[in-house]
RNA sequence: GGGCGCAUAGCUCAGUUGGUUAGAGCGCUGGUCUUACAAACCAGAGGUCCUUGGUUCGACUCCAAGUGCGCCCACCA
């Protein structure tokens, strides 16, 4: 390690971050050992990034949180395993590879399935690791030896195994469902590939005569898509709609399809929209599909693959396109007096991203998983709080979804992914499956088998993530050690898609809860509160920020801005804050080293010889240790970081180092050795406490500073596995700390007085302390050297009961008043104004407190402790009020 | 439309189970190059805690309604 990097230079993270990461890798400190049973295990699974991903700020935050938890637990002595890996991302990858391919003038279909698949594999090899490399720049302590991937051999085996198990348990079935069909590309496309465009359309109203009516009775139905009418199976009205009660169950004549259809009742219908009557076309509309299924109607598909009308329509319409058919249908309705009216209507059209053609919902066969039969333990776990959400509010969302769970459509019409392990027998049309490819039909023994052409939904591999990477279905040692994991850290948007399903899968295969804690990280937004997105281009590139400010600054900024859950608004400038703070730590180290480099050996800390400033610092340090650990236990990472930030800057630097200066600069000072020892002891503690958050700079500094006799160091040469600091009663000095804070407020008070009077900083002043409680004399005398140095005082006197000397300003604290004669610097007018303001403010508080104390009900019902503190406040504030009044009077006399 | 959440300083946000004079960072004002750091130090200004009502001795905190905003789901014949 190059310790001179600290002594002689400014903070430049680029000089050591890469070097240190290599050092950690070489030392194998990120690796967890499943055979080591001497330590408790701690496991976190990465939410596997898509192979198509580049690192964005959402990852930055998400990964930093996980890394902090893992590094913290590792320092606490856990066998910590953070599992890295990638998701093959079926749709996203296929889209990118296809786009690439199309640019060369070749379609996926022309290339053929096998060659296209090979191209995807190649693409993954080439680009898939970019995000993992970027994660290394962020300093993530993944156990890289376990790096995995949802399409590798081992995980594919796991996918195959669970599919077969589920099928054998009767939980996987084939059923009909509507998909988004692109009539130009003649393929199903995913929701991601559909853009909804609002446009001005029309709403056509036309008549359906009631069959057998003597009075020409009819219903009027409104539709935006009259051309689909040939597929109508019924007309629906709301069951409570008084207008149509008598018609429910009657038949209507369909003037276009030239057949009769019934009137049914369904709550799906909105009475106030249109006429309150809806024609139901289950094969061509997502909502109608649900209604049709509920009422057991036949689905009539009236389109060919290219969305032209097929043989189920009357001959004159067959072969027409959707638009041609629409014109022809309207012409017919108008000519035969069925059309009642047409009106303008705004609606949204689903457009295929790639062909720009209007998407047509199309009936197709899909594979489904019966979720209701395997979901129960996942519901129980949340209800009993065995599974906990951070923040808790997500429990409701989770339960709401699980309690209304739908069957999961697990097939996708893609080429990139795990091929569905189902073979259709060409002789008897039944399906066969197996962990090995079947050679004969399970039903009739035929060898004429054809594998299903679809692949599995990408989530069908990622739901196995808690156990598949550790070797499942083999009962490996790693699986024993690292399943279940401890916490999952992810975005709330995939609570259904991923989190809930992992829990379901783990109960199904392992019979156990996959993880006890679910941490929902904040959503990263821009300054206007918009989610970072590619299309908006409002994202902040973490790598750009790392290059500019260093990984530690990026990590620090991300987590300190992000509360548990919620969302965080980010700005490029925010990273400057992190960088400045780390620079502050760097400079503090530089200053310390200046004195630590001296030859004399470091002393152990000695209670009897610690000065008041050191006792205060140690006491604050111990409190900080407790607070940080408590916050981390509760996943309040921003709170932990905030606590540390203020301890380092406000306590250690502004008071600790500043107070130490008067001792350190005097080479023969008797307290010097203990002060140096205290500073180093606390600084080592800071480095340890902060190491999980900002691992690089803490490690770099740790290698530079000397080892302290009061800290224990293992044999490992890295900060990242040193013991994490905890509450240490040895360094608790409650009384001394309280006394020292009196000195601090006295110093601050005098500084404030100096500013009020515009006294130049270098000018020394006299200060006269008037004590109400003479017991404080000893306390203040102990702090005299610091009062002189830090407040710019050259003459400090004690005069109990003194009233205000001429031309002086004052500052008050608990039991004391300090008068500072400022001579001609005193501006009587502005001082009077200030005192009057003070008087008003304090009088208000005093009055409030008095009212409270006179309130009978308050005295009767409030807890005794509250009454005591209120009384004490009252005494204190009225004392202050008296002082202010006296001084105001004294000032006015002149 | 269904579900969930948010509203505190100019900006971004803390504020743990109701109980001192509501905090921080950035920005702003004034002063300082004080031998770690001007990427800093010292001091300061700035808030009817969205509105109204309720519970309570006591509400930024709990409850209800209203207003404004965000997210997820369904998006409409």
Whether A492 has a pLDDT exceeding 80, the answer reads no
Taking residues A207-211, report their average pLDDT: 84
pLDDT at A531: 63
Whether A399 has a pLDDT exceeding 90, the answer reads no
Spatial CB neighbours of A480, under 8 Å, sequence gap ≥ 6: A34
Whether A1 has a pLDDT exceeding 50, the answer reads no
Whether A27 has a pLDDT exceeding 90, the answer reads yes
Instruction: Give per-residue pLDDT as tens, A822-840.
Output: 888 877 777 787 778 788 8
Instruction: Give per-residue pLDDT as tens, A509-538.
Output: 999 999 988 888 877 766 656 666 655 566
Distance A519 CA to B5 C1' (A): 17
Any idea which nucleotide's C1' is nearest the CA of A877? B21
pLDDT at A873: 82
Higher pLDDT, A744 or A187: A744
Distance A583 CA to B38 C1' (A): 13
Spatial CB neighbours of A552, under 8 Å, sequence gap ≥ 6: A13, A17, A139, A578, A582, A693, A694, A695, A696, A697
Cα distance between residue A109 and residue A746, in whole Å: 82
Q: Which two tokens stand for residue A130?
A: 């970019």
Instruction: Give per-residue pLDDT as tens, A588-616.
Output: 999 998 888 777 788 999 999 999 999 99
Instruction: Give per-residue pLDDT as tens, A45-77.
Output: 999 988 887 788 888 888 999 999 999 999 999
Helices (H), A757-863: 776-782, 784-791, 828-854, 856-861
Give the phi and the psi of residue A445 in degrees, each rounded to 5: 80, 0
pLDDT at A4: 57
Segment holding A501, helix H or strand E: helix A501-510
Query: By the 8 A CB rule, do A393 and A399 touch?
Result: no
Query: By the 8 A CB rule, do A529 and A498 touch?
Result: no
Helices (H), A727-809: 734-756, 776-782, 784-791
Distance A653 CA to B37 C1' (A): 10
Across all residues in chain A, what is the average pLDDT? 85
Cα distance between residue A110 and residue A190, in whole Å: 21
Taking residues A152-181, report their average pLDDT: 89
Distance A529 CA to B9 C1' (A): 20
Q: In percent, how much of chain A has pLDDT > 90?
A: 27
**CA A884 to chain CA mean position, Å:** 51
Instruction: Give per-residue pLDDT as tens, A849-880.
Output: 888 888 888 888 888 888 888 888 888 788 87
Please, what's the largest Cα pairwise distance for chain A?
119
Whether A2 has a pLDDT exceeding 50, the answer reads no
* Residues paired with A367 in a beta bridge: A174
CB-side exposure of A395: number of CA atoms within 13 Å? 17
Distance A285 CA to B1 C1' (A): 19
| Three-state DSSP state, A359 | coil
Nearest residue by alpha-carbon distance to C1' of B12: A569
Whether A6 has a pLDDT exceeding 70, the answer reads no
Taking residues A235-257, report their average pLDDT: 83
Distance A187 CA to B41 C1' (A): 68
Any idea which nucleotide's C1' is nearest the CA of A574? B26
Query: By the 8 A CB rule, do A467 and A510 touch?
Result: yes
Higher pLDDT, A836 or A693: A693
Taking residues A570-575, report their average pLDDT: 80
Q: Which two tokens stand for residue A251?
A: 């038949």
Q: How far apart are the first and last CA of chain A?
A: 67
Distance A662 CA to B48 C1' (A): 47
pTM for the model: 0.86
pLDDT at A657: 92
Instruction: Give per-residue pLDDT as tens, A435-465.
Output: 888 888 888 888 888 899 888 988 899 999 9
Any idea which nucleotide's C1' is nearest the CA of A759? B31
Instruction: Give per-residue pLDDT as tens, A319-351.
Output: 888 888 888 888 888 888 888 888 777 677 777
Q: Which two tokens stand for residue A699?
A: 């490690």
Strand B bases, protein C-beta under 7 A: 3-6, 11-15, 19-21, 24-26, 30-32, 34-37, 39-44, 56-58, 69-77
| Three-state DSSP state, A510 | helix
Q: In percent, how much of chain A has pLDDT > 70?
A: 95
Taking residues A280-309, report their average pLDDT: 84
Nearest residue by alpha-carbon distance to C1' of B30: A755
ipTM over 0.90: no
**Nearest of A400, A256, A396 to residue A333 by alpha carbon:** A256
Q: Count the Cβ atoms, other than its own, within 10 Å of residue A300.
A: 19
| Three-state DSSP state, A626 | helix
Cα distance between residue A795 and residue A788, in whole Å: 8
Residue recorded with tokens 């807890």? A863
Cα distance between residue A771 and residue A350, in whole Å: 80
Whether A302 has a pLDDT exceeding 90, the answer reads no
């Amino acid at each position: 390690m190059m310790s001179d990097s600290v002594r002689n230079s400014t903070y430049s993270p680029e000089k050591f971050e890469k070097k240190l990461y290599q050092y950690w890798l070489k030392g194998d400190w990120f690796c967890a050992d499943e055979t080591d049973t001497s330590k408790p295990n701690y496991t976190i699974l990465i939410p596997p990034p898509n192979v198509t991903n580049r690192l964005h700020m959402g990852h930055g935050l998400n990964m930093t949180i996980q890394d902090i938890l893992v590094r913290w637990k590792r320092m606490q002595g856990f066998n910590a395993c953070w599992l890295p890996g990638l998701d093959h991302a079926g749709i996203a990858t296929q889209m990118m590879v296809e786009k690439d391919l199309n640019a060369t003038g070749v379609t996926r279909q022309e290339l053929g399935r096998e060659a296209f698949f090979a191209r995807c594999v190649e693409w993954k090899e080439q680009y898939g690791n970019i995000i993992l490399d970027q994660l290394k720049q962020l300093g993530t302590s993944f156990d890289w030896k376990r790096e995995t991937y949802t399409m590798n051999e081992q995980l594919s085996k796991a996918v195959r195994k669970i599919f077969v198990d589920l099928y054998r348990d009767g939980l996987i079935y084939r059923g009909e469902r509507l998909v988004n069909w692109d009539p130009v590309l003649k393929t199903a496309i995913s929701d991601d590939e559909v853009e909804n465009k609002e446009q001005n359309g029309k709403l056509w109203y036309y008549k359906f005569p009631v069959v057998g009516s003597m009075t020409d009775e009819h219903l009027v139905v409104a539709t935006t898509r009259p051309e689909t009418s040939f597929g109508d199976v019924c007309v629906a009205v709301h069951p409570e709609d008084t207008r149509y009660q008598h018609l429910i169950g009657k038949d209507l004549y369909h003037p276009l399809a030239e057949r009769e259809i019934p009137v049914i009742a369904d709550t799906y219908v909105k009475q106030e929209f249109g006429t309150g009557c809806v024609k139901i076309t289950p094969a061509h509309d997502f909502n109608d599909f649900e209604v049709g299924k509920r009422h057991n109607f036949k689905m009539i598909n009236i389109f060919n693959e290219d969305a032209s009308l097929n043989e189920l329509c009357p001959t004159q319409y067959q072969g027409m396109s959707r638009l041609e058919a629409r014109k022809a249908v309207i012409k017919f309705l108008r000519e035969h007096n069925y059309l009642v009216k047409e009106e303008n209507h705004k609606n949204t059209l689903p457009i295929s991203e790639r062909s720009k053609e209007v998407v047509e919902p199309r009936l197709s066969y899909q594979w489904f998983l019966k979720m209701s039969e395997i979901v129960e333990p996942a519901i129980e776990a949340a209800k009993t709080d065995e599974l906990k959400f951070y923040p808790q509010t997500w429990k409701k969302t989770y339960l709401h979804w699980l309690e209304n769970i739908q069957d999961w459509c697990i097939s996708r019409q893609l080429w990139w992914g795990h091929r569905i392990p189902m073979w259709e027998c060409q002789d008897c049309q039944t399906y066969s499956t197996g962990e090995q490819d079947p050679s004969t039909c399970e039903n009739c023994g035929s060898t004429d088998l054809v594998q299903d052409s679809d692949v599995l939904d990408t989530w069908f591999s990622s739901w196995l993530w808690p156990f598949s990477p550790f070797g499942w279905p083999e009962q490996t040692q790693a699986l024993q050690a690292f399943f279940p994991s401890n916490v999952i850290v992810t975005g709330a948007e995939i609570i259904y898609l991923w989190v809930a399903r992992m829990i379901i899968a783990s109960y199904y295969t392992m019979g156990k809860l996959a993880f006890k804690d679910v941490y929902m990280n904040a959503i990263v937004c821009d300054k206007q509160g918009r989610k970072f997105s590619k299309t908006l281009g409002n994202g902040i590139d973490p790598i750009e920020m790392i290059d500019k400010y260093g990984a530690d600054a990026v990590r620090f900024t991300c987590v300190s801005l992000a509360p548990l859950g919620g969302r965080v608004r980010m700005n490029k400038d925010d990273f400057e804050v992190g960088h400045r703070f780390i620079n502050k730590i760097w400079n503090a180290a530089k200053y310390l080293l200046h004195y630590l480099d001296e030859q004399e050996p470091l002393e152990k800390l000695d209670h009897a010889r610690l000065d008041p400033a050191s006792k205060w610092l140690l006491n604050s340090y111990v409190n900080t240790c407790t607070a940080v650990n408590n916050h981390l236990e509760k996943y309040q990472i921003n709170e932990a970081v905030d606590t540390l930030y203020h301890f380092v800057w406000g306590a250690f630097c502004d008071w600790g180092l500043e107070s130490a200066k008067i001792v350190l600069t005097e080479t023969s000072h008797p307290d010097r050795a203990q002060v140096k020892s205290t500073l180093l002891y606390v600084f080592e503690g800071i480095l340890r406490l902060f190491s999980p958050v900002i691992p690089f700079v803490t490690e770099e500094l740790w290698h530079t500073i000397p080892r302290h006799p009061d800290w224990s160091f293992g044999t490992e040469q890295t900060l990242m596995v040193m013991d994490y600091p905890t509450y240490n009663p040895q360094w608790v000095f409650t009384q001394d700390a309280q006394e020292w804070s009196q000195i601090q407020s006295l110093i601050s008070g005098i500084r404030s007085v100096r500013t009020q009077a515009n006294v130049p900083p270098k000018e020394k002043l006299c200060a006269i302390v008037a004590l109400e409680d003479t017991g404080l004399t000893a306390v203040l005398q102990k702090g005299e050297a610091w009062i002189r140095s830090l407040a710019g005082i050259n003459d400090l006197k004690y005069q109990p009961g003194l009233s205000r000397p001429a031309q002086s300003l004052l500052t008050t604290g608990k039991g004391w008043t300090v008068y500072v004669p400022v001579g001609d610097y005193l501006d009587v007018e502005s001082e009077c104004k200030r005192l009057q303001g003070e008087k008003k403010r304090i009088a208000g508080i005093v009055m409030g407190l008095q009212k409270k104390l006179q309130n009978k009900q308050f005295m009767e019902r409030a807890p005794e402790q509250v009454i005591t503190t209120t009384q004490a406040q009252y005494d204190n504030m009225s004392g202050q009020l008296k002082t202010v009044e006296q001084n105001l009077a004294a000032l006015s006399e002149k």
